[in-house]
Amino acid sequence: MAFENLSERLQKALRNLTGKGKISEEDINAASREIRLALLEADVNFKVVKDFIKTIKKRALGQEVQESLTPGQQVIKIVNEELTKMMGEEAVGLTKSPHIPTVIMMVGLQGTGKTTTVGKLAYRLMKEEKARPFLIAGDIYRPAAIDQLKQIGADLKVPVYSDPEEKSVAKIVEDGLAEAAVHRNDYVIIDTAGRLEIDEPLMKELEEVKAVSQPDNILLVVDAMTGQVAADVAKTFNERLDVTGVILTKLDGDTRGGAALSIRAITGKPILFTGQGEKLTDLEVFHPDRMASRILGMGDMLTLIEKAQQDYDAKQAEKVAQKMRENTFDFNDFIDQLEQVQKMGPLDEIMKMIPGMANNPQLKNFSIDEKQIAHTKAIVYSMTPAEREDESLLNPSRRRRIAAGSGVPIVEVNRMIKEFKTAKDMMSKVTKGNFKDLEKLPGM
Ligand code: GDP
């Protein structure tokens, strides 16, 4: 995961502060030193670190901490807020044109993932907005780039404009835009040339493309694995082209996080998306606040709560609680519950969003056996309606029938029924306020 080391070090630096009734200046100095080292080691720009530490110290010595009953917690809150600010506060989306098409010009050095990201963005727009994007192949110096974009276009069934005879990129872009206008495409994404390093002819060419296409968005693609260099590159591109935002690729391979933490502060421009892998689906909206919470091991509670709100039905939850109290919870409710949880996504991913869980060493090898859940459902689906409502009917011959019906060995059927009974029994006790024996619950 990105930020793994930084996350561990920051949490260690802050751990010493929690639980104290009062925090001295020396405590704050010690924690600041640790935070400073952690950020520098994560390859965050020196100046950005300096400003960050200055703000943290000033706020930590201020009233909000000194007068707080839980000063340690208060400092963590401040670090969280300042980390969020450093990365840009709120998630930023694409700028939409009031009339079609919305033009997106992609720029960046070679190998950063520009062409791949054109495809990811097109895929995202198609999926989220049912958009009809049109792609223009403006990287004419690397013949493979045109083929790569054509392949992406073919995979997505999206038109790609290219002209191998034309030497002027500005002209290609002009012609491509004219064609998109004929077909009334709602988005045009322009892939441009990259170089290994920034040079004058490249910048001139990009300025020409900008002039002819009047883009609503100029998105700079930078490689997170290059750390501070990515931030410096962003600064130079921004000075020449006034980019509207940044897409940070290869965050999946970046364990340090320096680029994500420096870019906003150095360029003043937001990170819109991050690339998290090579597939077309591996593009995520960048939420600075959620990222900060993740770094500090506070989990990604917002994402979790959003998921829960989307997927969880409060009335249904109350109904289940009532049944637990009355000890009438049956296999139908059990299946409903399983499905509610499954709808939220892969369970091990959900666990990592819970505060304190992301870096929990026990979670390193943790995985939920989805096959087991499928078996459990198959067993319940092989029961008759009467059996689902009353587990006491499940005698050996019925169990054998269920095993045959679900294709699951009889021992597994027996184990599942036993666990269900234990759980039901416990739930009934707990809802009545009796917490004894709770540790006997399966999985506790
Ligand atoms: P371009 O020269 O900037 O157009 O770069 P490409 O789009 O050709 O990408 C260069 C390499 O980076 C390819 O192998 C891509 O599959 C890979 N790549 C792009 N984005 C990501 C990402 O978010 N994560 C990972 N792991 N690889 C990526």
Relative to beta strand 187-192, strand 217-223 is unpaired
- Distance, in Å, from the CA atom of 221 to the CA atom of 226, rounded to the nearest integer, reads 12
User: Which residues are paired to 104 by β-bridges?
Assistant: 189, 217
Closest ligand 1 atom number to CA of residue 108: 3
- Distance, in Å, from the CA atom of 355 to the CA atom of 299, rounded to the nearest integer, reads 4
Instruction: Count the helix, strand and coil residues of the chain and give each as a percent rounded to the nearest 5.
Output: 60, 10, 30
Relative to beta strand 102-107, strand 271-275 is unpaired
- Distance, in Å, from the CA atom of 380 to the CA atom of 357, rounded to the nearest integer, reads 31
Q: With a 6 A CB cut-off, is 141 part of the ligand 1 pocket?
A: no
Tell me the per-residue pLDDT of 15-30, one tens digit each, with 9 for 90 and over.
888 777 788 899 999 9
Lowest mean pLDDT, pick from 45-54, 69-78, 167-176 = 69-78
> For residue 101, what is the DSSP state?
P
Pick the CATH number of 4-87 from 1.10.10.410, 1.20.120.140, 1.10.3210.50, 1.20.900.10: 1.20.120.140
pLDDT attached to residue 139: 92
pLDDT attached to residue 255: 73
pLDDT attached to residue 194: 86
First-to-last alpha carbon distance for the chain, in angstroms, is 27
pLDDT attached to residue 300: 57
CB distance 51 to 268 below 8 Å: no
Tell me the average pLDDT across 74-79.
86
Q: How confident is the model at residue 66 (pLDDT cuts 50, 70, 90)?
A: confident
Tell me the average pLDDT across 338-343.
72
Q: Is the pLDDT of residue 107 over 60?
A: yes
Q: Is 300 helix (H, G, I), strand (E, B) or coil?
A: coil
Q: Is the pLDDT of residue 307 over 70?
A: no
Question: What kind of fold does domain 102-298 have according to CATH?
Answer: Rossmann fold (3.40.50)
**What token pair was written down for 283?**
């593009």
Q: How far, in Å, is the centroid of ligand 1 from the Cα of 75?
A: 38
- Distance, in Å, from the CA atom of 29 to the CA atom of 102, rounded to the nearest integer, reads 50
Domain boundaries, the chain: 4-87, 102-298, 306-440
Relative to beta strand 133-138, strand 160-161 is parallel
Kindly list the distances between the CA atom of residue 434 and the CA atoms of 267, 296, 327, 437, 442, in Å, as whole numbers in the listed order: 58, 35, 14, 9, 17
CB distance 367 to 331 below 8 Å: no
Q: How confident is the model at residue 433 (pLDDT cuts 50, 70, 90)?
A: low
Mean predicted lDDT score pLDDT of the chain: 85
Token pair 């049109």: residue: 134
Question: Which DSSP helix (H) or strand (E) runs through 192?
Answer: strand 187-192
Q: How confident is the model at residue 262 (pLDDT cuts 50, 70, 90)?
A: very high
User: Mind spelling out the 3-state secondary structure of 21-74?
Assistant: CCCCHHHHHHHHHHHHHHHHHCCCCHHHHHHHHHHHHHHHCCHHHHCCCCHHHH
- Distance, in Å, from the CA atom of 129 to the CA atom of 114, rounded to the nearest integer, reads 22
> For residue 244, what is the DSSP state?
S
Q: How far, in Å, is the centroid of ligand 1 from the Cα of 64?
A: 45
Q: How confident is the model at residue 425 (pLDDT cuts 50, 70, 90)?
A: confident
Closest ligand 1 atom number to CA of residue 142: 2
Dihedral angle sign, alpha carbons of residues 81, 86, 87, 92: positive
Q: How far, in Å, is the centroid of ligand 1 from the Cα of 111?
A: 6
| Closest by CA position to 284, among listed 255, 248, 244, 231 | 248
Dihedral angle sign, alpha carbons of residues 93, 94, 98, 101: negative
**What token pair was written down for 312?**
């969880």
Structure-model confidence comparison of residues 347 and 284, the more confident one: 284
Averaging pLDDT over each range in 62-76, 256-270, 358-372, which range is the top one?
Answer: 256-270
Q: Is the pLDDT of residue 102 over 60?
A: yes
Q: With a 6 A CB cut-off, is 192 part of the ligand 1 pocket?
A: no
pTM over 0.90: no
Tell me the average pLDDT across 216-222.
96
Question: Which DSSP helix (H) or strand (E) runs through 169?
Answer: helix 169-183
Q: With a 6 A CB cut-off, is 268 part of the ligand 1 pocket?
A: no
Q: How confident is the model at residue 295 (pLDDT cuts 50, 70, 90)?
A: confident
226 in a labelled binding site? no
Q: How confident is the model at residue 147 (pLDDT cuts 50, 70, 90)?
A: very high
CB distance 11 to 297 below 8 Å: yes
Question: What kind of fold does domain 306-440 have according to CATH?
Answer: 434 Repressor (Amino-terminal Domain) (1.10.260)
Q: Is the pLDDT of residue 136 over 90?
A: yes
pLDDT attached to residue 309: 54
| Closest by CA position to 419, among listed 382, 384, 444, 385 | 444
Q: How far, in Å, is the centroid of ligand 1 from the Cα of 110?
A: 9
Lowest mean pLDDT, pick from 88-97, 172-181, 399-408, 427-436 = 427-436
Q: With a 6 A CB cut-off, is 110 part of the ligand 1 pocket?
A: yes
Lowest mean pLDDT, pick from 28-42, 266-280, 342-356, 412-426 = 342-356
Tell me the average pLDDT across 416-444.
65
Q: With a 6 A CB cut-off, is 252 part of the ligand 1 pocket?
A: yes
Lowest mean pLDDT, pick from 88-92, 254-258, 352-356 = 352-356
pLDDT attached to residue 123: 96
